[in-house]
Structure 1
Amino acid sequence: MGSWWQFLLLSIPVSLPGDLDYLEGNGGWFTNKYLALMEEDHCTVERRNASLTYSQFIDQYAFSRPVIIQGITDNSEFQALCTRNKLLAEFGDRLVRLSTANTYSYHKVDVPFQEYVEHLLEPQDLASLGSGSGSGVPFHWHGPGYSEVIFGRKRWFLYPPEKTPEFHPNKTTLAWLVDTYPFLPPEERPVECTIHPGEVLYFPDRWWHATLNLDTSVFISTFLG
């Protein structure tokens, strides 16, 4: 398939007294207990289990539609390495690059990962950018890829290449969900689903997609080119 890259991505809100809960079962990350982001009413991405064969994947999904695959790997060891304490101990002094993650994201800032986690992160809202619950990536497209959730839940919105979604490139996915999504007629709705820890979403080449973190989330993506 040519070159490929793997990226470990985190969405971690900062601890604000009275607003956030500490979740032992979520790797020690904080999440906003008042930000009630919901899953979709009906998932329109097919879920398959580890019985899916390579030939079935190629014939039914690889070039035509997304699929969520369950139970193909035991990520418990990797999950243990992605807890808050483990990641801070291992990478606390490493620099991370912050940006708005959209079309106009020209200004970038490098900060130590420890500072990023403990002082700079906060939940997303409609008025400001954040990196926790409610954050995500606006609609874009590239080559095919996989995304596996390690902690939290991540809601996906997808359109096939021939159907450009209605969105503003300098607005967040949360703003799109509030301002545009409710008014879309049924035939203009995206293919959508929320993936949970241990599930892997595959999307084909050039499919438009946007994401929304329903919880504090840690996920790993592999892009094929």
Structure 2
Amino acid sequence: QQIIIVYILFLRPLSFLRGKILKKRFFIKDVCVYTLYFFGDNNFTEWGPLFQHYVPPPFRIPGTSPAYSFGIAGSGSGVPFHWHGPGFSEVIFGRKRWFLYPPDQTPHFHPNETTLAWLQHTYPTLPPALRPLECTLRPGEVLYFPDRWWHATLNLDTSVFISTFLG
């Protein structure tokens, strides 16, 4: 049954399931556990031709060299809050929602909770002053994430994206 549900997620947007399958409490958490999310640790032997054709954003940080990471993700998937060095993320297909906090403002989250669950349960309880900066990237749009900024993502559709890490 879970395999069929995951397959449905790729055929229809997540909103199609709301009011049907998502009435089951356990499924909200499981959607993001079983939904496709491929990102990082790209083998450059296999992915090299793709990266050779990729035109990165025309911005650089002096003294850094870019490292590319290609991703494909299903609707409803994403990554919980985390931080790392600076970089860019560009959406090629689909939409990706971003939530960002500056380094001195630690977000309220549980590391084992999906971004979708956080958005549904924690986000509505946050006072406006404690809510993150937010944006939704669409195809061709790029987001710069500064060094050590907390961020979480939620793929609103099946998405294809490339991140450029500057380090």
Q: Indicate whether the TM-score tops 0.5.
A: yes
Match of 2:141 in 1: 199
Match of 2:29 in 1: 127
Residue identity matched to 1:126: I
Percent identity, aligned pairs only? Answer: 74
CA distance in 2, matches of 1:145, 1:32: 31
CA distance in 1, matches of 2:6, 2:107: 35
8 Å contact from structure 2 (residues 29, 114) kept in 1: no
SS at match of 2:15: coil
Structure 1 unaligned spans of 5+: 1-12, 21-29, 38-124
Q: Greater helix percent: which structure? A: 2
CA offsets per residue over residues 129-188 of structure 1, 9 Å max, x none? 122110000000000010000000000000000000000001100010011001100000
Match of 2:124 in 1: 182
SS at match of 1:157: strand
Residue identity matched to 1:32: R
CA offsets per residue over residues 70-102 of structure 1, 9 Å max, x none? xxxxxxxxxxxxxxxxxxxxxxxxxxxxxxxxx
Match of 2:82 in 1: 140
SS at match of 1:36: helix
Deviation at 1:32, TM superposition (A): 2.4
Count of residue pairs the alignment pairs up: 114
CA distance in 1, matches of 2:152, 2:105: 14
CA RMSD of aligned residues (A): 2.0
Deviation at 1:213, TM superposition (A): 0.2
Residue identity matched to 2:12: N
Deviation at 1:36, TM superposition (A): 2.0
CA distance in 2, matches of 1:167, 1:185: 15
Deviation at 1:218, TM superposition (A): 0.3
Residue identity matched to 2:93: F
CA offsets per residue over residues 43-86 of structure 1, 9 Å max, x none? xxxxxxxxxxxxxxxxxxxxxxxxxxxxxxxxxxxxxxxxxxxx
SS at match of 1:138: strand
Within a 5 Å distance, the mapping from 1:1-225 to structure 2 comes to: 16=7, 19=8, 30-33=10-13, 35-36=14-15, 125-128=27-30, 129=33, 130-131=35-36, 132-225=74-167
Deviation at 1:15, TM superposition (A): 7.2
SS at match of 2:118: helix
Q: Which has the larger radius of gyration?
A: 1
Deviation at 1:214, TM superposition (A): 0.1
CA distance in 2, matches of 1:196, 1:145: 18
Deviation at 1:203, TM superposition (A): 1.1
Structure 2 unaligned spans of 5+: 17-26, 37-73
CA distance in 1, matches of 2:101, 2:153: 12
